[in-house]
Amino acid sequence: MNAITSSAASAAVSSKARALTGRAIVPGDKSISHRALIMGGLAVGETTITGLLLGEDVLRTATVMAALGAKIEETQQPGDKHDGRLPTEGGRVWRVWGRGVGGLSEPADVLDMGNSGTGARLIAGLLSAYPFTSFMTGDASLRGRPMDRVIKPLSQTGATFTCRSKGRLPMAVTGTPLPMPLTYESPIASAQVKSAILLAGLHAQGITTVIEPAASRDHTERMFRHFGVDVRVETGLAGGEAGSSRYKVEVVGQPEITGRPINVPADPSSAAFLVVSALLVPGSHLILPNIGINPLRVGLFQTLEEMGANIAYTNRREEAGEPVADLEVKYSALKGVKVPAHRAPSMIDEYPILAIAAACAEGETHMAGLAELKVKESDRLSAMANGLAACGVSATAGADSLTVRGGGPKGNTPITIPVNLDHRIAMSFLVLGMTGDRPIAVDDASAINTSFPDFIGLMNGLGANIEAVHQRDLP
């Protein structure tokens, strides 16, 4: 298994792009990659994974699962070429030999999750079901993010947690030898919270139930089914959030699962940056194969289409329980819209790049239900409002909303945007720099490695003009 490498902090400057054209392979889905490694470690026998995202977040999860006793190897298949359907990353195949449900072992060292909130919360759920003590930490950004949203329900299964104030890492997790099945009604629609509880419930004798005020991403449920786990879902329950209905999922614990092949679809959250770039740069025409179009992940694409985006879906199919399609995107004149709060769970990671689209659209775009953005890798709500304002775009942040008035960035003087270790903020403002006469720099492009390691190289190959620079040379 490859070791995790961290590059020295470097900056990047994005200037006006020529038309973006061609066929681009988007990295594998980050959420599904995490779950593939975890489930492979819990299965008996060999799980083969193609299309795994090679970003730092996912590699952290791979390292942690190996520390817990799973055997993980990365191999190269000679002569295996990308066929436009399955993103095999040039022939890379990851093989995971699992230990079975309940078979993981005590780690010998601290588990460092880097910048990965998804990895940290899912692994916390896993560790809560094992009768040993583990220690978890992360980088400066992750150590500032709340873990109490998973600590509260997981404590009810019999596990104990010791952490810093407000549920922050570093954290000690002492699992229970007899995890209790849990019925938990979550106050928020969060795939991370739901998945942490379901992973704990996989080890409990009986049925574990999670009820959400609205349906969050269902990658865990789909992955469980792919491995033969008994999963029961009810939708349309009364009493949900405005414009939505409650969602209930039940998992029957202590299954015997065996290894399965997994082809990870391309990540729609990563594809979002290419989609918006093509929509905003005149003359652009991109083909993006094998994009995941899970109905609970396509809120951004739905919103962009309401704004007037020209996005076509072809070759629809299913991979490992996940719906996928090839996307064809052409430059479009966008108009502002009102984005309802109930759509937030299906596009929570895409609001930064949606704000960029809104900044270049005609009229005003109002986005509601954004309180969750304050506890992501950074306070994304403030970061987007402040960054857009610095670029001459009128933007107003409320307690849980963002209003952006279009017209594009103003002026031609280069400007630097601080990203605060947030990969999506960095990529979003590099996209904005492609659209006008004002070069836009980000102070730390290395943050992008957590989810999209070759973002700059890929974009430049399509027609972008992004230059890596030293921080000392920033405007």
Residue 349 known to be catalytic = yes
Sheet holding 133-137, edge to edge: 111-112, 133-137, 168-174, 160-164
Tell me what percent of the chain is helix, strand and coil, each rounded to the nearest 5.
35, 30, 40
Q: What is the radius of gyration, based on Cα positions, of the chain?
A: 21
| Residue 307 CA: distances (Å) to CA of 48, 279, 312, 336, 365 | 40, 11, 15, 6, 9
Output the six-digit token pair for 423.
Answer: 């990969």
CA distance 103 to 255: 12
Residue 201 parent element (H or E): helix 191-201
CB distance 151 to 161 below 8 Å: yes
- What is the bridge-based pairing of β-strands 133-137 and 111-112? parallel
**Which residues 6+ apart lie within 8 Å of 51 measured at CB?**
28, 86, 87, 88, 89, 263, 264, 265, 266, 290
CA distance 82 to 79: 10
Apex CA 401: angle with CA 400 and CA 407, to 5°?
160
Read off the DSSP letter of residue 469. E
Question: Is residue 399 packed enough to be buried (19+ CB in 10 Å), middle (13-18) or exposed (0-12)?
Answer: exposed
Closest-CA residue to 200 (of 218, 228, 214, 180): 180
Phi, psi of 146 (to 5 degrees): -75, 135
**Which residues 6+ apart lie within 8 Å of 17 measured at CB?**
277, 281, 434, 435, 463, 464, 465
Amino acid letter, 106: E
Which residues sit opposite 252 in a β-bridge?
207
The catalytically annotated residue of 349, 444, 454, 473 is 349
CA distance 428 to 459: 13
SS3 label, residue 342:
helix
Question: Annotated catalytic sites, by residue?
Answer: 349
